[in-house]
């Protein structure tokens, strides 16, 4: 089609849209059904996406106007906004409590009290009050840094602007969920996929008058930074919130015992659709603040809380095709492309088939009508095939023997621990030689927990790759901005924002740098452990195939699997070259966390059973004070903590090397 014809078609559609829209909103007399209206809206947006020159004041993306702004100022959260781990079943929940008990060295089945709260599916926000005045409000952002959306938050009635109550802390961050009720959502549902999107879109309007038009609500449930407040329990804090004038959920409860938690979960799940807002599960928080403090945090979530999700919603649809996705580690994941279907408020067009075995077991074929399940934010998957609807000439699905991206052989790995072959098939070409793997590696490199480059999302990486602007992670630091500024959708401002974000990302912690390299089995926690040990970029640059990798075995947490993966990674020239080139651009920041604790540069090791506390907790106490835990006795070890029934060999070796051997009591003394 010619440009002129496209414009004409677009104009026709937007005019029609304007007419439908007016009748719906202003006259409350819809001219067409919801689905015709939605289709038209989608067609217009598709056209706009494809042909960037199309613009109209009547476009659904402007007219309805809830396009979130990218231009908010950012600010660092004084206390990170974390996510929650999930449990889906009773077994998962039992496991969660077991881990808590292990960490706290309590007997399994010990009475643990939980603050149980509905998990509202909205947008979280953090409100800072100084001397009772609402000073600023931040969105969650990436958890470290959020957008300053103070003015928009101030339009929400449930959020007190001034709190003049004795005992209200001088400086506190109150956290909670911004959402829209289902009733209010009905009025604007044409414009958004679900209530959550509506809340998010409206909260991130540039003009707070737009936010005001949508009746947003706020329920408070937590605190971030907090000064001078003595509370012993989460439930007490919830009471305080109410006293200070915040809304809290009326479904909050205090419960102990797995059986009671499950019973309550069933009750609320049954009531779920009666509630006037979307709830996707329950949050269980250990009620005692003292225990919360002892339990502490993992990289991204607290050990003291979890979300118990409600069961999934299902729908059925037809498989149009089965495609193979190639992941960062070469894993080949079959994905069913299905006829788009609404599964509990979200339009689903892809469903995971997990792996070849799963396809075989369920005998899933192209053309089949299947049941799709979606639970919370988990990727939808196919649960079963409706055999009655299968066509006679359908053929069994044959999993490819070669990588669809690079043509390399497809392999299954043997797992030494389970003594079985993995269910997952992988592309045998490691690293950057396979196009799809390379793209995924670069996406990982720029991701939130790695280089965290604003404005450089997954789609942009794919676009830059197809334009040959990038082939390797280091190319990001040497982009051709001239060329980018001439691309569709890139203006002067967005290019200069990108440039700024990329420059800013060059200052990075060593642990993030190591994580960004995307070494298999080296996640955030392991990257952190390795960074303590490797210490500097110079040291990292010295690692190659001849390195004594078994040195890393001293690190508590690094095992054979990680060592093999590191060996493999550092024996590939291409990886060494990437690190070398990256080193020219980056500046490694000193980690401010744990830097100056009393155990700085001191190493510990345990042998034997501790009394009253678990090893995990003792380990976390050492780490909180900047100490390190190693897993073998060497002359690098400062203290061997000997509990009950220590291993003789370790004691003898420690004596030989004149390592100090201390008891648990001595350790507690050191700590205090």
Span of 13-21, 88-96, 114-122, 511-519 interacting with ligand IVH by CB under 6 A: 114-122
C-beta closer to ligand IVH: residue 329 or 452:
452
Residues 139-158 close enough to bind ligand IVH by CB under 6 A:
140
Span of 77-85, 353-361, 528-536, 615-623 interacting with ligand IVH by CB under 6 A: 77-85
Number of residues that bind ligand IVH (CB under 6 A): 15
C-beta closer to ligand IVH: residue 300 or 325:
300
Q: Does 241 bind ligand IVH (CB under 6 A)?
A: no
Instruction: Please identify which residue in 245, 296, 302, 404 interacts with ligand IVH, judged by CB under 6 A.
Output: 302
Output the CA torsion sign for 614, 615, 620, 625.
positive
Beta bridge partners of 113: 256
Instruction: Please identify which residue in 238, 283, 410, 555 interacts with ligand IVH, judged by CB under 6 A.
Output: 283
- Strand, helix or coil at 282? strand
Beta bridge partners of 589: 509
C-beta closer to ligand IVH: residue 248 or 366:
248
C-beta closer to ligand IVH: residue 114 or 513:
114
DSSP secondary structure letters along 449-499: TTT--TT--HHHHHHHHHTTS-SSGGGGGG--HHHHHTSTT--HHHHHHHH
Going edge to edge, which strands form the sheet with 639-642?
Answer: 628-629, 603-607, 639-642, 660-663
Instruction: Please identify which residue in 17, 37, 221, 639 interacts with ligand IVH, judged by CB under 6 A.
Output: 221
Q: Does 305 bind ligand IVH (CB under 6 A)?
A: yes
Q: How far apart are CA 401 and CA 408, in angstroms?
A: 9
Q: How far apart are CA 330 and CA 327, in angstroms?
A: 5
Cβ atoms of residues 319 and 99 within 8 Å: no
Q: 219: closest CA among 190, 184, 177, 172?
A: 177
Q: Does 114 bind ligand IVH (CB under 6 A)?
A: no
User: Nearest approach, Cβ of 222 to ligand IVH (angstroms)?
Assistant: 5
Phi, psi of 216 (to 5 degrees): -85, 150
Could you give the C-alpha distances from 128 to 73, 134, 135, 217, 569, in angstroms and in order? 16, 6, 6, 18, 45
Q: Does 575 bind ligand IVH (CB under 6 A)?
A: no
C-beta closer to ligand IVH: residue 117 or 356:
117
Could you give the C-alpha distances from 614 to 35, 610, 628, in angstroms and in order? 58, 7, 17
Alpha carbon distance, N-terminus to C-terminus of the chain? 76
Annotated catalytic residue 506: no
C-beta closer to ligand IVH: residue 124 or 155:
124
Could you give the C-alpha distances from 360 to 151, 302, 324, 334, 392, in angstroms and in order? 55, 38, 15, 12, 18
C-beta closer to ligand IVH: residue 301 or 384:
301
Catalytic residue among 13, 41, 119, 233: 119
Q: Does 124 bind ligand IVH (CB under 6 A)?
A: yes
x/- mask, ligand IVH, residues 168-187, rule CB under 6 A, reads: ---------x----------
Residues 423-462 close enough to bind ligand IVH by CB under 6 A:
none
Q: Does 222 bind ligand IVH (CB under 6 A)?
A: yes
Q: 445: closest CA among 464, 458, 426?
A: 458
Q: Does 277 bind ligand IVH (CB under 6 A)?
A: no
Mode of pairing for the β-strands spanning 171-180 and 216-226: antiparallel
Instruction: Please identify which residue in 16, 32, 47, 84 interacts with ligand IVH, judged by CB under 6 A.
Output: 84
Q: Which residues are catalytic?
A: 119
User: Which residues bind to ligand IVH, rule: CB under 6 A?
Assistant: 82-84, 117, 119-120, 124, 140, 177, 221-222, 283, 302, 305, 307
């Amino acid at each position: 089609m010619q440009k002129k014809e496209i414009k004409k078609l677009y104009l026709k559609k937007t005019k029609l849209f304007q007419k439908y829209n007016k009748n719906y909103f202003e006259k409350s007399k819809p001219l067409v059904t919801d689905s015709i209206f939605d289709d038209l809206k989608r067609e217009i947006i598709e056209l706009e996406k494809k042909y960037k020159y199309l613009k109209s004041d009547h476009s659904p993306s402007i007219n309805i106007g809830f396009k979130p702004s990218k231009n908010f100022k950012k600010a660092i959260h004084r206390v990170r906004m974390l996510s929650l781990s999930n449990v889906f079943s009773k077994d998962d929940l039992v496991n969660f409590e077991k881990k808590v008990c292990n960490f706290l060295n309590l007997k399994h089945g010990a009475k643990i009290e939980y603050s149980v709260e509905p998990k509202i599916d909205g947008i979280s926000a953090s409100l800072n009050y100084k001397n009772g005045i609402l000073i600023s409000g931040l969105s969650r952002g990436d958890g470290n840094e959020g957008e300053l959306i103070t003015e928009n938050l101030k339009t929400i009635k449930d959020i007190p602007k001034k709190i003049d109550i004795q005992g209200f802390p001088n400086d506190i961050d109150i956290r909670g969920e911004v959402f829209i009720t289902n009733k209010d959502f009905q009025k604007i549902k044409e414009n958004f996929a679900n209530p959550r999107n509506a809340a998010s879109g409206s909260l991130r309007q540039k003009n707070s008058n737009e936010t005001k038009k949508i009746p947003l609500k706020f329920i408070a449930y937590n605190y971030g930074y907090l000064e001078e407040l003595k509370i012993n329990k989460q439930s007490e804090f919830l009471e305080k919130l109410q006293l200070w004038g915040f809304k809290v959920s009326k479904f909050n409860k205090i419960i102990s015992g797995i059986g009671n938690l499950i019973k309550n979960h069933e009750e609320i799940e049954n009531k779920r659709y009666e509630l006037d807002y979307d709830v996707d599960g329950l949050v269980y928080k250990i009620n005692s603040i003292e225990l919360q403090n002892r339990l502490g945090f993992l990289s991204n979530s607290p050990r003291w809380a979890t979300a118990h999700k409600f069961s999934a919603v299902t729908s059925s649809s037809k498989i149009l095709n089965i495609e193979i996705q190639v992941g960062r580690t070469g894993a080949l994941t079959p994905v069913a492309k299905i006829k788009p279907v609404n599964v509990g408020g979200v339009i689903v067009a892809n469903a995971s088939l997990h792996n070849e075995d799963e396809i075989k077991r369920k005998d899933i074929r192209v053309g089949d009508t299947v049941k799709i399940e979606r639970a919370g934010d988990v990727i939808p998957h196919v649960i079963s095939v409706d055999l009655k609807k299968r066509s006679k000439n359908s053929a069994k699905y044959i999993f490819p023997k070669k990588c669809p991206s690079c043509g390399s052989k497809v392999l299954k790995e043997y797992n030494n621990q389970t003594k079985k072959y993995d269910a997952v098939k992988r592309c045998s070409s490691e690293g950057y030689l396979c196009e799809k793997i390379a793209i995924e590696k670069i996406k990982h490199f720029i991701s939130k927990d790695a280089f965290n480059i604003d404005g450089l999302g997954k789609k942009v990486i794919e676009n830059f790759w197809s334009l040959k602007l990038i082939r390797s992670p280091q190319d990001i630091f040497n982009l051709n901005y001239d060329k980018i500024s001439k691309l569709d959708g890139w203006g002067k401002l967005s290019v200069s924002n990108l440039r700024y974000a990329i420059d800013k990302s060059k200052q990075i912690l060593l642990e993030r740098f190591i994580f960004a390299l995307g070494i298999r089995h080296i996640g955030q926690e392991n990257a952190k452990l390795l960074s303590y040990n490797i210490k500097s970029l110079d040291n990292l640059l010295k690692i190659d195939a001849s390195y004594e990798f078994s040195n890393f075995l001293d690190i508590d947490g690094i095992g054979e699997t990680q060592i093999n993966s590191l060996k493999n990674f550092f024996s590939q020239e291409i990886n060494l070259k990437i690190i070398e080139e990256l080193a020219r651009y980056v500046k490694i920041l000193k980690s401010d966390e744990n830097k100056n604790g009393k155990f700085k540069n001191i190493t510990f090791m345990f042998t034997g059973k501790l009394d009253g506390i678990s090893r995990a907790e003792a380990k976390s106490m050492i780490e909180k004070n900047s100490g390190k835990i190693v897993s073998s006795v060497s002359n690098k070890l400062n203290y061997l903590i000997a509990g009950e029934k220590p291993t003789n060999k370790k004691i003898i070796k420690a004596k030989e090397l004149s390592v100090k051997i201390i008891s648990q009591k001595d350790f507690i003394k050191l700590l205090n």
